[in-house]
Amino acid sequence: MRGQAMGNEDYELQLKAIKLATERIFSLATTEEEVCRLEKAINHEVMYLAAIAQSELVKPDGGWDQFGR
């Protein structure tokens, strides 16, 4: 979706899919500790993937050099 803003309807659909997936994941947990561990893992993965997506959106046309510029 580079160069095109996500519309409100698309945003809501994506958010709904995330909520459903998260509910399914948490339903597999049998203890509070498992829920906490899953929450931490999900947050870590989301932050990692968001950093990649953000860097792709600002990446120079020629790509990044070896120093990340």
Q: What whole-number distance in Å separates Cα of residue 32 and Cα of residue 28?
A: 11
What is the predicted pLDDT for the residue at 1? 45
Q: What is the pLDDT of residue 36?
A: 97
As a whole number, the mean pLDDT across the chain is 91
pLDDT for 5 equals 82
Helix 32-58 / helix 8-27 crossing angle, nearest 10 deg:
150
pLDDT digits (tens, 9 = 90+) for 1-34: 455 788 989 999 999 999 999 999 999 999 999 9
Per-residue pLDDT reduced to its tens digit, 35-49 = 999 999 999 999 999
pTM of this structure? 0.72
pLDDT of residue 3: 59
Quick one: CA torsion of 30, 32, 37, 41, rounded to 10 degrees?
Answer: 80
Q: Please state, in angstroms and rounded to a whole number, the distance separating the CA atoms of residues 55 and 45.
A: 15
